[in-house]
Structure 1
Amino acid sequence: MPMFNSCSEAKGHPLSKEPICNFEMVAMLVKDHASARGGWGVGFYEIGKTCSGGRQHSFTKVSFCVWACVPLEMCDAFGLEYYSIVLRNIIWMFCKSILALKKHLIMREILRLKEAQPILQSVHEDLLHVIQSGFSDWLKIREHSNSFDGGPVNYKPRTKAGIIHDHIEKYVRSQFTGQDGIVVDDFNGVFGMVLQDSLFIRFKKMDSTYSVRSLYTNQHKRYMKQGQIEGFPAKPTFLFAGYMPDKTWSAIKGIYVACWQNDTLEWVDEFGKYTAEQAILDFDQKENKAISGIEKRIKLKRKTKGGDTKTGTDDI
């Protein structure tokens, strides 16, 4: 299939009188010619002027013309076929884009605190136990590391949070796997627990605003937006179960379950206050209530909205 830089060059070619009546052949000619010159432009070519019984097909946004000897009687049919294919492709791409956008924008139902509390209450003591046990394991590891040659290890916050998360996961799998109405698993690479097909819990370190630290990926942003995520159940409200360590990472100041939507804290449930050194959990069931009332809204500090890649427990 010959390629030409101009109509005048094509006219003198011995193959210029051979009609090209097949759409795919013309498309291939244009594609090859465009590829040879390093650019496709916008990817469309249009029917141009008649040149000695044929048609000039110029590639939009590219400075050349391709000589395709299509007989005049075939031009209207060729143009109709071409533009009908283009139209079908545009409609198909538009529909796919709408479906993809709809999938990402659909929000899951967010349970209010008074609706979530009965479900959380059923795992209240066990949830406290697994988080406290994971933190206690960290204290044992830190104490053991002090005996290493060369002195104690200065663990970075992200390392500390990662160790605690992995040990919490160990206790969660041991404590909750197989219980009725509870699913413990990795969901698209993220460890979590589903309660009664209504609540999805991830385990994270929290700061004083009940916010969590994670790599700020698209998946994490969709989790914060309560959006749909591939590999995650579609119905449950997304929650974080987190612990708040003191400045020295020697004790837990509190354990909380928080519900976020975008950068707004919808509600938070306090699960008692105690130190990690306590062998017996010291909390009063009557104190298991939301901070400052049943429900409240708190805006994230601007500095935390983008996430903090220096701390966190996974790469969601």
Structure 2
Amino acid sequence: MKRNIISLEEASIILEPHYSNIVNSIVGGFEDYQKISEFANTLGRPVTFGGCTKGSLIHDQIRVRITEQYEESNLFEARKWNNIFALKLEDDVLIRFKKLDKNKGIANYRTEQHIKFMAQSLIDGFPDQPTFLFAGYIPDKTWTSIRGVYIACWNGKTIEWFDEIGKYCVRQLNIFEEPATEELEKRFRVRLKNKFKIQSEQKTGTNE
């Protein structure tokens, strides 16, 4: 059984009062990571963090900042559900915070819970009503700046819509649909590659 998926227009009305909190927390969390990285390199030996470490450090800083923004609210909740940190805006949306790839995809382990979250399924331990959303950032190749901050709504392997915090948006795209033009393919086509394929679909004999 699936939950209700709100439209981009509905989401914009709900999210608009929270855009500054979300953007400031994500950008601030990224800047916090840069300071941590700079400090680590003052300890006597150069340190190069791996991608997972960078993402975890940034996520932890975002979590702290979001929690501070909403800790005194009676309407909105910033806490963990099944060990997953998220921001719940009444019964409308529940937002996770993640690093995104250029196609607004989410890099994550293919756990049953993650697959259900992507599919907008009902999950024990999570509220039943809110639409599941992702708020995330796309870093540049050197992890020295952010290319954009986005809100994305996924439904299984389809991205229903995404919004660059009001700057640009696009509606439903499916990984099996060919874009109408080369430019659309360049900008919008969703490529989930191996990371969103269910293990049973992989017949390569590898563990990737």
Superposition TM-score, scaled by structure 1 size: 0.56
In the alignment, which of 126, 135, 159 is matched to residue 265 of structure 1?
159
1:106-161 C-alpha deviation (Å, 9 max, x unpaired): 10000010011011101011111111110010010111111122x22111000000
Residues in 2 aligned to 1:180 and 1:115: alpha-carbon distance in whole angstroms: 22
| Structure 2 runs not aligned, ≥5 long | 176-189, 199-208
Residues in 2 aligned to 1:303 and 1:131: alpha-carbon distance in whole angstroms: 27
Measured after TM superposition, the shift of residue 197 of structure 1 is 1.0
In the alignment, which of 296, 301, 304 is matched to residue 172 of structure 2?
296
Residues in 2 aligned to 1:174 and 1:161: alpha-carbon distance in whole angstroms: 20
| Structure 1 runs not aligned, ≥5 long | 1-105, 272-287, 308-316
Q: Which amino acid aligns with 1:256?
A: Y
1:28-57 C-alpha deviation (Å, 9 max, x unpaired): xxxxxxxxxxxxxxxxxxxxxxxxxxxxxx
Conserved? CA contact 1:240–1:258, under 8 Å: yes
Residue 296 of structure 1 aligns to a residue whose secondary structure is: strand
- Aligned twin of 1:238: 132
Residues in 2 aligned to 1:132 and 1:180: alpha-carbon distance in whole angstroms: 25
Residues in 1 aligned to 2:141 and 2:27: alpha-carbon distance in whole angstroms: 17
Q: How many residues align?
A: 183
Provide closer, same or farther for how the CA distance between residues 296 and 289 of structure 1 changes in structure 2, counting only shifts above 3 A: farther
In the alignment, which of 100, 105, 109 is matched to residue 206 of structure 1?
100
Measured after TM superposition, the shift of residue 227 of structure 1 is 0.3
Measured after TM superposition, the shift of residue 289 of structure 1 is 4.2
Conserved? CA contact 2:110–2:195, under 8 Å: no
Measured after TM superposition, the shift of residue 168 of structure 1 is 0.3
Confirm or deny that 1:171 pairs with 2:65. yes
Conserved? CA contact 2:79–2:87, under 8 Å: yes
- Aligned twin of 1:182: 76
Confirm or deny that 1:124 pairs with 2:23. no
Instruction: State the superposition RMSD in angstroms.
Output: 1.4
Conserved? CA contact 1:267–1:290, under 8 Å: no
- Aligned twin of 1:136: 31
Superposition TM-score, scaled by structure 2 size: 0.84
Residues in 2 aligned to 1:155 and 1:207: alpha-carbon distance in whole angstroms: 18
Q: For 1:63-102, list aligned pairs within 5 A.
A: none
Sequence identity (%): 37
- Aligned twin of 1:145: 40
Larger radius of gyration: 1
Conserved? CA contact 2:108–2:195, under 8 Å: no
In the alignment, which of 119, 140, 146 is matched to residue 252 of structure 1?
146
Measured after TM superposition, the shift of residue 177 of structure 1 is 1.9
Measured after TM superposition, the shift of residue 178 of structure 1 is 2.3
Residues in 1 aligned to 2:100 and 2:121: alpha-carbon distance in whole angstroms: 21
Measured after TM superposition, the shift of residue 303 of structure 1 is 2.7
Q: Which amino acid aligns with 2:59?
A: H
Confirm or deny that 1:154 pairs with 2:54. no
